[in-house]
Amino acid sequence: MNGSTHSQKEAIQNLLLRLELWFAPMLIIVPLAVSLFLVWDWYARGSSLGLSSYDGELLLGLLILCGNLATDIAFIRSIRTLRKKG
């Protein structure tokens, strides 16, 4: 009974790891693309034309970019360690 419970937990962990590996590119690329688009839009429309109304896009883009980088580094490290264990 204990052995089957342990194997079920391992199977569930392997499925969850596989799911994380499938969603990892989306979780990394989408916020990165959105933040880079906001920074580019600020530069193209706000900075080059001298409009200060686009400064919020720069702030939002940088916040998303910094937050994404801070969480993605830890996320990728945890996936690598789980992948090595499994």
As a whole-number percent, the residues of the chain with pLDDT over 90 amount to: 33
Question: How far, in Å, are 9, 19, 58, 71 from residue 5 at the CA level?
Answer: 6, 21, 51, 32
Q: For 1-11, what is each residue's pLDDT tens digit?
A: 466 777 888 88
Among 12-16, 46-50, 53-57, the range of highest mean pLDDT: 53-57
Q: What tokens were used for 53?
A: 């109304």
pTM: 0.70
Average pLDDT over residues 29-35: 93
Q: Which domain holds residue 53?
A: 2-85
Q: Per the structure, how many domains does the chain have?
A: 1
pLDDT (0 to 100) of residue 47: 83
Q: For 67-80, what is each residue's pLDDT tens digit?
A: 998 988 888 888 78
